[in-house]
Amino acid sequence: MTSEQFSFRSREEKKAYVRSMFSDIAGRYDFLNHFLSFGRDYSWRKRAIRTVREHRTASGVTSSMILDIACGTGDLSFEAVRQIPDAQIVGVDLAKPMLDLFQQKIDQRGANIRISEGDVEALEFPDGSFDAVTIGFGTRNFTNLDIAFREINRVLKPGGIFVNLELSKPRGFPMKQLYTFYSKFIVPLIGKTVSKHGEAYAYLPDSIRRFPERETIVEMLRGAGFSEARWKDLTAGIVTMHIAVK
């Protein structure tokens, strides 16, 4: 599939595509995440949850209600359990097969996590329900970032934190050139071979290319009502962590 074919005609068309794609690759999703990132995804998740934990300590918050959006098979949620053992975590995702695998992990580990199918653009939670919201590599798949960020702001308590991990476009030489080659040619080849779903891993570099720049995301977060917003590059800009406080 070419990049032109990833130009969706409507929000609903993209949402349906994303749901179907992630449902199809659910069984190989964890393996490919770890393999394609050379295992760096573990450290990125640790950094994101450490940011949540440090914010909790600095603000003196005693509760830890955490919403993990686009939770997939649960790696970010389980990292939150590891670092913040008393956290009450809710995971939402569009793709039921992903959630089915997540539930199997919850049952095996006896973790304090609730999960449900959910759409970031219409979250089914009251205003001010959570102390923190996290997303791990899901915002590229949203159909309207402005709506998503407003919904995230709505369900956060005053002073609550939003931490978003997202694949990014490195800016410095030679990482920019190496990563462009890797994501454009190597990732689709490996993804197709392992997952048997060539489109999914052609969609990946295309969605990174189309995703707004770091500074634009920060402005969008401020426009959604966050009082503070910033970004920080990880691993030479392969991943960007966006941090916003309500």
Q: Find how far residue 107's CA is from the centre of its chain.
A: 23
Strand partners, 244: 162, 229
| Residue 15 covered by a domain | yes
Q: Is the pLDDT of residue 197 over 70?
A: no
Please tell me the predicted confidence (pLDDT) of residue 11.
86
pLDDT mean across residues, the chain:
89
**Higher model confidence: residue 204 or residue 223?**
223
Q: Which residue has the higher pLDDT, 210 or 32?
A: 210
Q: Determine contact, residues 154/226, Cβ cutoff 8 Å.
A: no
Structure token digits, residue 154: 């709505």
Distance, CA of 3 to CA of 145 (rounded, Å): 20
Tell me which residue has tokens 């039921």.
Answer: 96
Within-domain flag for 24:
yes
Per the structure, the count of domains in the chain is 1
Does residue 53 belong to any structural domain of this protein? yes
**Residues of the chain above pLDDT 70, percent:** 92
- Cα–Cα distance for residue pair 47/141, rounded to 1 Å: 22
Q: Does residue 199 lie in a domain region?
A: no
Which CATH number fits the domain that encloses residue 132? Answer: 3.40.50.150
Other beta carbons within 10 Å of 181: 11
